[in-house]
Amino acid sequence: MSTQVQNEVLKVIEDRHSVKQYQVGHTIPKEDLEQILTSASLAPSSWNLQHWKLLVIDDQAQKEKLLPIAYGQKQIVESSVVIAVLGDLEANKNAQAVFGPAVAGGFLPQAVMDTLVAQIEGAYQYPQVARDEAIRNGSLAAMNLMLAAKALGYDTCPMGGYDAGKFVEAFNVPARYVPVMLISVGLAATPARSAGRLSLDQITVSNSF
């Protein structure tokens, strides 16, 4: 990786801040939105099961329906799009789709796939494992999404302040998925303010507590 690319990546990370005021009425071009979603899909995931579903809410009427569920946060209706990141509680069912092509292409022995599937099914006997994986891997996709949006010139705000139960009911979310967060995406109406950060010596421990 070149120094220029490294610096650009680090700048995107440094420049990404949560934005709550957006330019109302702006529409994100389809190709940009697809790039943002594609970048989210490239996040790492346990066993590569890709434990996420992305519900894209860009219809204004649907955003108005979401507004009270998100306790009236104006970025819901003022941003270009709201993306609900959902975690897949049944991501183990993705195993065949994930590993099958690799086996068919000769890149993965069938015996290895069988071992992996056995490990996955063993882990997914426990509901807490399924939920932990859904939240953990969904969050990785969410971070990729926000960084990709910033790289394309858009701002975002991850939101946990909403009624998850009402969201599931209002948007007909299947029981297979658990809401992880909502993310507003659009053009900032005012520049984001950099939030303070704890120093490294406050957040890191070397080797052991």
Helix H or strand E encompassing 162: none
Rounded to 5 degrees, φ, ψ at 55 are -95, 110
Per-residue pLDDT at 74? 97
Residue 105 predicted with pLDDT over 90:
yes
Residue (of 20, 23, 8, 12) closest to 193 by Cα position:
20
pLDDT band at 1 (very low <50, low <70, confident <90, very high): low
Please compute the mean of the pLDDT values over residues 9-30 and round it to a whole number.
Answer: 95
| N-to-C CA span, the chain | 34
CA separation for the pair 50, 131 (Å, rounded): 14
Residue 6 burial by Cβ neighbours in a 10 Å radius (0-12, 13-18, 19+): exposed
Per-residue pLDDT at 191? 82
149 — alpha (psi -120 to 50), left (phi > 0) or beta?
alpha
Per-residue pLDDT at 79? 98
Residue 94 predicted with pLDDT over 70:
yes
The residue ranges of DSSP E strands in 123-167, in sequence order, are 155-159
pLDDT band at 91 (very low <50, low <70, confident <90, very high): very high
**pTM of this structure:** 0.94
23 — alpha (psi -120 to 50), left (phi > 0) or beta?
beta
Tokens 């490239």 identify what position? 42
Please give the CATH topology (third level) of the domain spanning 8-188.
Answer: NADH Oxidase (3.40.109)
Please compute the mean of the pLDDT values over residues 20-48 and round it to a whole number.
Answer: 98
**Could you count the other beta carbons within 10 Å of the beta carbon of residue 123?**
15
Say how far residue 165 (Cα) sits from the centre of its chain: 19
Q: Is 34 or 5 the better-scoring residue by pLDDT?
A: 34
The residue ranges of DSSP E strands in 90-169, in sequence order, are 155-159
CA separation for the pair 9, 156 (Å, rounded): 17
Average pLDDT, the chain: 96
| CA 10 vs CA 4, 7, 13, 16, 47: distances in Å | 10, 5, 5, 10, 28
Task: At 146, list the tokens.
Answer: 């926000």
